[in-house]
Every structure is written in C-alpha cells, then in structure tokens.
Structure 1
C-alpha cells in the first residue's frame, strides 16, 4: 500500500511517502516568514502548500499514485480517538470557523482531501487530531458553569507511544493504565485508562504546566485584570498565552538547549530557576494524574523533543519516579504514526470513523 502523509506546521510542511511500513521519502518543506506574509489567514495557504507538496514529489520522482493520503488532523469539533475518513462536513467545518484555533494543522485534512480526489480509488484520512476528547464526566467540569474544561493535546504522538510501549512489553494498549507526558513547544499530560485518555490538559492555550512557548495555568483574577488594563489588545494577550509565553517570555528564547548552555557555561541562576520551575510544574501535573487513575499506574511515559534532555528527565524522575516505572521515548514520529493509522484501515485491522 502506498501512503502519502502530510503534516503542516506553522513554519513548515512535513511530507512522507510510505510503502506499507517502509518510508520511501521523508521531507520537511520550510516556509520563510516572507513567503507566509502574503497570506492574511492560515487557510489561504492551502493552494500554496499543496503545490509545494506536489513539487517535492515530482522532484523525488515519485508518481502521484497512492492508496491513501492522510493529513494531520485539525482543531475542529471534539472527537473520539481513531482514524477518520475525511468528508464534506469536516472540510466545511474547517472552512467555516468552527475550528477552535487558526492553526496550520487545519490545513492537513484540506490538502490531503484535495490530492486524494485527483487519484482513482484513493482514500483520505486524518488520525487522532489534537481535539481528541475522551474525558470522563468529572474532568469536564470546571469551577464555573460558564465554561467547561476542554483538552487540546498531542493525541497522535501520545497514542503512538502508548501502543509502542505496550507492544514492547507484550501487552495491548487497551489493557494498560498510563500517564503520558509529551514535552515540546507545548506540554500535554494525559491519563490513559485502558485505551482511553480520560483526563488531559489544554496544552495549547491555558492549562497545565508552562512550557517553552505556552503560559499554562495562570491566576484567573490577575489575568482578568490584565485584560481590562488597557495595556494590551486581544491579539497581544493571546500571544502572551501561546507563543510569547513560558520560557520564551521569561528568558527570551524557546530553545531549551540555549537555556541549558546559559546554565552550564555561564552559571545563569535566573535561567536555572525558570527551567527548574517548569520541570517542577510538569512533575506536579504528572503526579496529579495519578489520582485520576487511583494510583493504579503501569508506567509513566515521557516523550517529545524535551525528553532528549537528561537534565529535564532526571529531575522529573526524582519527583515522580515513586509513582510507577518511567520510560523515555525521546522525540516524536508523527509521520510514521499517521502512516500506520492509514495502513491499519487499508488492511482492515481498524475501521475508519465517520466525522459527524
């Protein structure tokens, strides 16, 4: 089975071609700020990015002949986890503004569907988008009836890591209780109970630990006062939640390697304080998910780019290692995860769900 994978990010579009489980091509197409400045809205980049994908395939001598095209899922309506066949309603919702955020991931289903439509008998999918919502009833309720808790998290990578870990120990994901922490530009932490993520934070814009780019949970009253202070407009304040927040706001960089250099080479005690505070809050939020699982935890899994840092991983182990065994899966492989999800449907091992 030939599968094309498309994963749009804010400044790049990753593509891959798989022959069953074997990657034939993996590319990252970078987009400069000047290139993207021509577009007022992310959705307007659809034709531009699609053409770059087709150009990359042509340059690699790969014919546009696929059994499936799978895109990174967008931030549309909350969904159960799984693989979804892209349909007209999903396309309509992505264009209509129902999407929770104007994020580049919303382009994934649009480009995948357009390319697949030009290929005979080719199917188009998304899998485990960031809006996967399997929260239990308690998790949805906040302290105000005006708003419920929602989760936006690294569902695709967390599920892929969970299945990989389960396979390594000879068990099924659906038989395990896991706490998984994905640490990248944003940090998501979820309690996985027998194959369902029953609790997870909104890692994009305002819940959980702060991260290299995001503010995490903030004091609510102070935030409201800041909104009415007249110092910032709405767009500027939203950037203070996601983008110019977290390490970026405190230290002027979202690169943890740069922060570690400041600590190790220059003895920067302020940088150490801020980084250690982030690690502290990550560990605290991991520990809080143990209550969701009533202490019945098979393992704690750490993943994402920051899981490559021994400085970070060792300090998390010190704080939460008493809860369960900790396994580290550095980085992420969203491209392989997407390809394997599509392949499972094509081989009849998994059924594609309907978006409705």
Structure 2
C-alpha cells in the first residue's frame, strides 16, 4: 500500500451486517452481526436502521478488540443509485441524498454507503463504495425492449460478478480485460452476466423481475398471464404489492419453504415435486447462460459460478450438464463481497486518480 493502515468494510444485508478489517490484502478480521428480526421490524423504513446498525458495528468491533483509530478508510456496500460505470466511488453528498431519499428504490444495500460515511466522518477519513448494483456497462443494443418508452436497466450483483471474473482470469492465466466470460451469481437473488473487454455488457436484472426464479422471486413471467392474474386478484391495480413477486415467489411459492436444508432433504428422499421444481429452476438458469453466450457470439473463455454455492449445490449440479458444452465451468464458493470491496479501495489508495465521483442524474 502507498499508505499504511487498515480498511473497514461493511456489508448490510436483510437481517445481518457483515464487517471485515483488512491491512493491505491481508484479511485481519471478519464478523457477521446477526440482528434481531423483531428489532429491525420496528423501524418504519430501512433508512431508520442506520443508527441501530452503526451502534451494533461499534459494539462488535470493541468487543473483539479492533482498534478503529488505525483505520484509513471505510467501504460500504453500494446501493441503488442512478446508472454509473464500474469502479470505486468516494461517498459524497449527492450519493447520500439519493440513498436516503430512496430516489432509485428502497433496498437494504442503500444503508452501506450511509453507514460507511457516518463512521468515516467521525474518524476524519474517506468512505467509498465499489461496483454498486447499478453499474451500467450494457451495450446499447441490449437495452431495447420492443416498447420505445421502456428500456432494460442494469441492476445486478456487479460486485460479485466482477470479482468472480477477475478470479477466473487468474485461474485461466490471462488478463481479465482480454477474456469473454459468463458469470452466474446464485444466492437469494440470481443474476447472469456477460463480460467482454473488462466490461459487463449484458445482465439479467433480478430486481426488475428478469431472469430465472429464485428462492423467493418469481423471475420473468408471461406478461399476459401476469396482467390477468393482477386483474383477478385486485380490483385496483395500484393495490398490487410488488413484494409478492419479490418475496413470495420462486421456490418459496412452489415448495412452501426457503430453507436449503429442507429442500435438500426432500431431494434425498426422492420427492418428485421438489425434483421437478429444482430442475425447472436449473433449466431457466441454463437457458439464460445460453442466451448470454450469443451475446459473446459463442466465443466464451469460461463460465463462472459465484455466490452461496454450498446452499445451492443441488441446483448447480443440475445446471452444469446443460452448459458445459459452451465453455469450461469454474465454481468459486462463497460470496467474496468483503474482499472485492477491499480490493477496490486499495486500488484508489494506491492510485488516487482512479477514484470516481458520483454525480446525481439530473446533473449529468
């Protein structure tokens, strides 16, 4: 590093906050703070959880003997912002405003930059985010929908996709910028992406309902059937709750559980319905991988799985036979969010000119 010190990384999720401390590339410390679900539910909005989570972070660091005075920067999980290019961004007022007002949607990821800034400000150091989910490097042709007034948007697990691409490049023994890759992130959400020349040029937007169904998301559904469903279930379309598709669909709707251990147990017992549903999910994921291979004109140097691999091994096992004819398949277990965030911060600490500044959309 060009300067000695430590980086604190913060990754808020639905009912947990992951934190880590790095010195250079050395991962000194990691802890997952599990929040009481009832305690979080007492807050009317996600933004109201900031003070509660911030206190929990300081208490955990203090309990584990981590000295915050040695920190030189703080990095938070990126949230829903206006479309921006990939890279490391310094948290500024424009970013905080868009996150605090949910200008581009409410999501737990919005808390990351706010927490990082609050902690960094007290220590008189900078706060950053790295490759937020709104990274938009999609080629123009990928944004057409068939309705001129509607464009496809790029919202996906960009942090993990990019990091997995770079790990794959090291395994292949080539520069990331020289490769054409397909990456599949499997966790609570599932997104698939195409990489070319160091850019992620097409993605499935899981937040807006694209792609395969997941643990609790419906994924892409037939428009005519969806409209008929809405008209049958609701007298007023405005009464429809989007969360029904985002939190009560997918495996949860078919199997009435979202617990991977229960699903795995049913598969081991030979439950035909469970097997059919898992095969259908694998089919949908494989079909999206095939579509992404056409984006790269069939010239694919590797296919990469990342995310919560151990919890979804039964799905991955069903996907691989459908896609391994396209290219070699690499599986990198674990969500490497903290490592990817730290690497992004190190890049700008060593090369200050690489730091990017967020500009609100209306100012662009």
User: So what's the TM-score if we normalise by structure 2?
Assistant: 0.93
Are 2:79 and 1:79 aligned?
Answer: no
Residues 319 and 97 (structure 1 numbering): CA distance in 2 closer, same or farther, change over 3 Å?
A: same
Which residue of 51, 55, 65 corresponds with 1:51? 55
Q: What is the CA-CA distance between 1:195 and the residue it aligns to?
A: 0.8
Query: 1:128 touches 1:156 (CA, 8 Å); kept in 2?
Result: yes
Encode CA deviations 1:140-170: one digit per residue, 9 max, x unaligned: 1102123111122111011111111112232
Q: Which residue of 2 aligns with 1:63?
A: 67
Are 2:44 and 1:40 aligned?
Answer: yes
CA distance in structure 1 between the aligned counterparts of 2:239 and 2:18, rounded to whole angstroms:
28
Query: 2:251 touches 2:257 (CA, 8 Å); kept in 1?
Result: yes
Residues 55 and 317 (structure 1 numbering): CA distance in 2 closer, same or farther, change over 3 Å?
A: same
Which blocks of at least 5 consecutive residues in structure 2 are unaligned? Answer: 360-364
Encode CA deviations 1:203-250: one digit per residue, 9 max, x unaligned: 123101111121110111121222233448767631221111100111
3-state SS in 1 of match to 2:249 = coil
3-state SS in 1 of match to 2:319 = helix
Q: Which residue of 2 aligns with 1:345?
A: 348
User: So what's the TM-score if we normalise by structure 1?
Assistant: 0.95
Residues 188 and 7 (structure 1 numbering): CA distance in 2 closer, same or farther, change over 3 Å?
A: same
Query: 2:74 touches 2:127 (CA, 8 Å); kept in 1?
Result: yes
Residues 58 and 244 (structure 1 numbering): CA distance in 2 closer, same or farther, change over 3 Å?
A: same
Query: 1:151 touches 1:203 (CA, 8 Å); kept in 2?
Result: no
- Higher alpha-carbon deviation: 170-179 or 142-151: 142-151
Q: Which residue of 1 aligns with 2:132?
A: 129
Which residue of 185, 188, 211 corresponds with 1:185? 188
CA distance in structure 2 between the aligned counterparts of 1:212 and 1:346, rounded to whole angstroms:
38
Q: Which residue of 2 aligns with 1:327?
A: 330
Q: Which residue of 2 aligns with 1:293?
A: 296
Which residue of 147, 150, 157 corresponds with 1:147? 150
CA distance in structure 1 between the aligned counterparts of 2:238 and 2:77, rounded to whole angstroms:
28
Encode CA deviations 1:258-285: one digit per residue, 9 max, x unaligned: 21210212x2101111011000000000
CA distance in structure 2 between the aligned counterparts of 1:236 and 1:268, rounded to whole angstroms:
33
CA distance in structure 2 between the aligned counterparts of 1:251 and 1:236, rounded to whole angstroms:
23
CA distance in structure 1 between the aligned counterparts of 2:211 and 2:23, rounded to whole angstroms:
39
Encode CA deviations 1:69-120: one digit per residue, 9 max, x unaligned: 00000011111111101111000111223122x1111000001011111113
CA distance in structure 1 between the aligned counterparts of 2:238 and 2:220, rounded to whole angstroms:
18
Encode CA deviations 1:279-306: one digit per residue, 9 max, x unaligned: 0000000000011000111001111114
Q: Which residue of 1 aligns with 2:167?
A: 164
Are 2:71 and 1:99 aligned?
Answer: no
Are 2:219 and 1:216 aligned?
Answer: yes
Residues 230 and 6 (structure 1 numbering): CA distance in 2 closer, same or farther, change over 3 Å?
A: same
CA distance in structure 2 between the aligned counterparts of 1:90 and 1:235, rounded to whole angstroms:
31
**Alignment RMSD:** 1.7
Residues 42 and 323 (structure 1 numbering): CA distance in 2 closer, same or farther, change over 3 Å?
A: same
Q: Which residue of 2 aligns with 1:12?
A: 16
Are 2:120 and 1:110 aligned?
Answer: no
CA distance in structure 2 between the aligned counterparts of 1:325 and 1:16, rounded to whole angstroms:
32
Are 2:252 and 1:243 aligned?
Answer: no
CA distance in structure 2 between the aligned counterparts of 1:186 and 1:229, rounded to whole angstroms:
28
Question: Which structure 1 residue ranges, 4+ long, deviate > 3 Å from structure 2?
Answer: 230-237, 306-311
CA distance in structure 2 between the aligned counterparts of 1:329 and 1:235, rounded to whole angstroms:
42
Which blocks of at least 5 consecutive residues in structure 1 are unaligned? Answer: none
